[in-house]
Structure 1
Amino acid sequence: MSRWDGIDEFVATAEAESFSRAAARLGLSTSGVSRAVASLEERLQTRLLYRTTRRVSLTDAGRAFLARCRQLIQDRDEALAAVGEEDGEPRGLLRMTCSAAYGERFVVPAVNAFALSHPRLSIEIDLDDAVRDIVSEGFDLAIRFGRLTDSRLIAKRLASRTRRLCASPDYLARAGAPKQIVDLEDHACVLGASDTWPFRDGEREIAFKPRGRWRCNSGQAVLDATLSGLGVCQLPNFYVDAAIAEGRLIPLLDNHRPADEGVWAVYPHLRLLPAKVRLLVEHLERVLAG
């Protein structure tokens, strides 16, 4: 039995607070993960986890042991990565996540071009509008927007996006155009996933709560509804710029447009960043900045 046995399983379980989620992350069976952690506790003669039917949590000894195990795993993985990538060529598996619409339109095509140039690299992309915990779920990289708060992650700005308020010419012919933010209270708003729309009044940030009879958590669906004349929407510029240029949508209240949001590559703190992550981030920065 290796003295490493059970450490990866323990760390994954502690971070996921679940044997089943840890098993999914590691590609193992739930019973196998549970047995490995129990065997580790037996060797240490110390309970590391409290177990209930719904979740697991760390004991005091487990919390102290987790910090050391994380460092051991990081050192091991960095050493393996350094040896495997001595020629600078990325290889192995890179797992990344991004929101669905932005990922499909911008990130995936850029990653595809990167993959063609690096045939030893395998890439797994998870497109999900939920903010995934990339540390506990074992992702190498995520693309995120706006303000970032997770201190476990390093962030590199790749590009920016802005939100634009707009409506179709047909709708505006019927309802008129809002002249100020408060006028939106009298308009049909086409609602997406967010409950508030950000605006700026000089240096002041304003959060407006739109109301309307139509809502969908898909940006593309919001765009289609707005083009159909159902009301006013606020969407990231990459959805609406082409329709505005073609005259199918009319921009509104541009003088109150919110500040640009950052588009960020985020990844866990590592003393030695693997070449596969470093080179892909550099590639995305070149492509997305344009």
Structure 2
Amino acid sequence: MIARRLSTVRRVLVASPRYLSTAGTPLMPADLAVHRAIVTSRAPDVWYLADNWHCEVRWAIAAGNMLVTHELARLDQGIALLPDFLVRDDLRSGAPVTVLNDHADDRATAWIVTSPQLYRSAAVKAVIEHIAGEPEE
């Protein structure tokens, strides 16, 4: 596989106001250990946050992808760690809301991963170049 770095992505912790009113609002990363975590896959049991903060989380739901994770956070199912671009519009409306803003400024790297095919279609090359912002080598 061939991987190309695209950009840095800011991730935020989000939960619905209703979930937080029932479960309480975490005040520090260690508080996440007693909350329902919505994760993308079952693998990550530790969330890494800004300033080397990290917390082992009890995942309640392994959603399979970020869109489902996002929707489950909106539906009062727990706390999710998601890219800010995915939740930006929701945050303006107040559902979900961010939690632990001082700690959740983790910066992740976004990559585009493709197969190492010698001959790619013009359409695939165009999409990669558009997303990456530079011609594919």
- Say yes or no: does 1:257 pair with 2:104: yes
Please name the residue that 1:199 is paired with: 49
Shift of 1:247: 0.9
Aligned to 2:83: 236
In structure 2, list runs of 5 or more residues that go unmatched: none
- Name the one with the larger helix percent: 1
Higher Cα radius of gyration = 1
Counterpart amino acid of residue 94 in structure 2: G
Percent same amino acid among aligned pairs? 26
1:1-290 maps to which residues of 2 (within 5 A)?
134=1, 155=4, 157-193=5-41, 194-200=44-50, 202=51, 204=52, 206=54, 208-265=55-112, 281-286=128-133
- By relative contact order (CA 8 Å, sep 6+), the higher-ranking structure is 2
CA distance change for structure 1 residues 179 and 158 in 2, over 3 Å: closer, same or farther? same
Is the Cα–Cα contact under 8 Å of residues 164 and 235 in structure 1 kept in the other structure?
yes
Report the count of equivalent residues. Answer: 127
Give the Cα separation in 2 of the matches to 1:218 and 1:281.
Answer: 21
Instruction: Measure how far apart 1:216 and its partner are.
Output: 2.1
Partners of 1:191 and 1:211 within 8 A in 2: no
Q: Secondary structure at the match of 1:256?
A: coil
**1:88-110 deviation digits (Å, cap 9, x = unpaired):** xxxxxxxxxxxxxxxxxxxxxxx
SS in 1 for 2:110: strand
Q: Aligned-pair distance for 1:278?
A: 7.3
TM-score w.r.t. structure 2 length? 0.73
Q: Write 1 or 2 for the structure with the bigger share of strand.
A: 2
Letter in 2 for 1:197: W
CA contact (8 A) 2:6 2:109 kept: yes
Please, which runs of 5 or more residues in structure 1 have no aligned partner? 1-133, 135-141, 145-154
Q: Does the 8 A contact of 1:161 with 1:236 survive in 2?
A: yes
RMSD, aligned α-carbons: 2.9
Distance 1:255 1:278, change over 3 A: same
C-alpha distance after superposition, 1:109-167 (max 9, x if no partner): xxxxxxxxxxxxxxxxxxxxxxxxx2xxxxxxx5x5xxxxxxxxxx4x43322221011
Q: Which runs of structure 1 show a deviation greater than 3 angstroms over 4 or more consecutive aligned residues? A: 264-268, 276-282
